[in-house]
Amino acid sequence: MQDRIAKGTPVRFTLNNTIIGFIGAGNMANSLIRGLLTKGKPPSTVLASDVDAIKLESLKKETKIETMSNQENVDRADVIVLAIKPQIMKSVCLDLDLSDPSKLVISIAAGITVTQLEKWLDEGGAIVRCMPNTPALIGKGATGMFANKHVRENQRLLAQEIMETVGISVWVESESDIDVVTAVSGSGPAYFFLFIEAMEEAAQELGLSADLARSLIYSTAVGAAELANNGEDSAAELRKKVTSPGGTTQQAIRVFESHDFKNLIHKALTAARNRSIELAKESSN
Ligand SMILES: NC(=O)c1ccc[n+]([C@@H]2O[C@H](COP(=O)([O-])OP(=O)(O)OC[C@H]3O[C@@H](n4cnc5c(N)ncnc54)[C@H](OP(=O)(O)O)[C@@H]3O)[C@@H](O)[C@H]2O)c1
């Protein structure tokens, strides 16, 4: 990653004195804005623009941030966060006059590549492409990030600080890894939801009430994730520890394995990765 960071006189920004402008004030921007304010960022240093004037007004009332047009936002912000839907990214970018190369652009739009953004914005501009996920909405997100060669080290740190207000973040070396991040953590919450859904249905068919099944399964999911996240053991080791020979867990694991469970997961993630590549191509003109 280091060799991708442009050398030169660093522009000094710290999170609190940087003006961050959000273009699009929907779900994801709201989470990021509230995450930044919770971390102590002054509301006067956060800007937002959106086509929905009512949404913008209530955001302004609740958070005391400033709201304005997309162009004024771009003119005033040091860091511009593109938080609009991928389908409108091209037209919004082409409408913007972003002529100051010292500004950092962060895109959180799924499937929009750095090359596309460079084409639609300013060729020499610093761009960070992020792939967040829905748990960011409750501050528990996981974001993969990729920086183009114009991003300076202090801008990279800034981008990371911004995304870490809603969870953890990781940098990837190659932009193609963002497609894998999309398949793993971007779409990942849905895989866990599917697993929980299937367990809830099975538990009810085996005789538990919906409420009981729900509370047992949700607590088990959170407990297992925290055990894996906080402990020293790998997931495989933790699984072995709770799988006594001849016991109940082993019977269940045998059923999963007899249906080639790991291969199924591999196929599912590959399909998601491939779709992410296709989506980027579909919006590449
Ligand atoms: N939500 C997630 O969990 C998640 C996860 C990963 C990545 N993302 C990415 O994050 C981005 C935002 O997603 P979101 O869920 O926050 O979407 P969202 O809630 O729909 O927010 C987008 C906002 O942009 C507004 N907008 C539309 N046209 C605009 C324009 N020309 N200028 C300024 N604002 C405009 C929309 O207004 P209208 O509603 O009136 O059109 C809406 O308020 C997407 O690109 C998505 O791919 C989201």
Q: Over the stretch 40-67, which tens digit does the pLDDT of each residue have? A: 999 999 999 999 999 999 999 999 999 9
Task: Indicate if ligand 1 lies below 6 Å from the C-beta of 15.
Answer: no
Q: How far apart are the first and last CA of the chain?
A: 28
Residue nearest to atom 46 of ligand 1 (CA): 109
- For residue 55, the ligand 1 atom closest to its alpha carbon is 43
The predicted structure's pLDDT at residue 8? 46
Contact predicate 28/20, CB 8 Å:
no
Give whole-number Cα distances, 42 to 17, 86, 123, in Å.
8, 29, 32
Question: What is the four-CA torsion angle of 98, 102, 108, 114, rounded to 10 degrees?
Answer: 80
User: Which of the two residues, 27 and 280, has the higher pLDDT score?
Assistant: 27
Kindly tell me if the per-residue pLDDT of 99 is higher than 80: no
In this structure, of 37-41, 81-85, 126-130, 167-171, the range with the lowest mean pLDDT score is 37-41
How sure is the predictor about 7, in pLDDT bands with cuts at 50, 70 and 90? very low
Task: Indicate if ligand 1 lies below 6 Å from the C-beta of 28.
Answer: yes
The predicted structure's pLDDT at residue 102? 85
Contact predicate 204/213, CB 8 Å:
yes
The dihedral through the CA atoms of 18, 79, 136, 69 has a sign that is positive
Question: What is the reported pTM?
Answer: 0.89
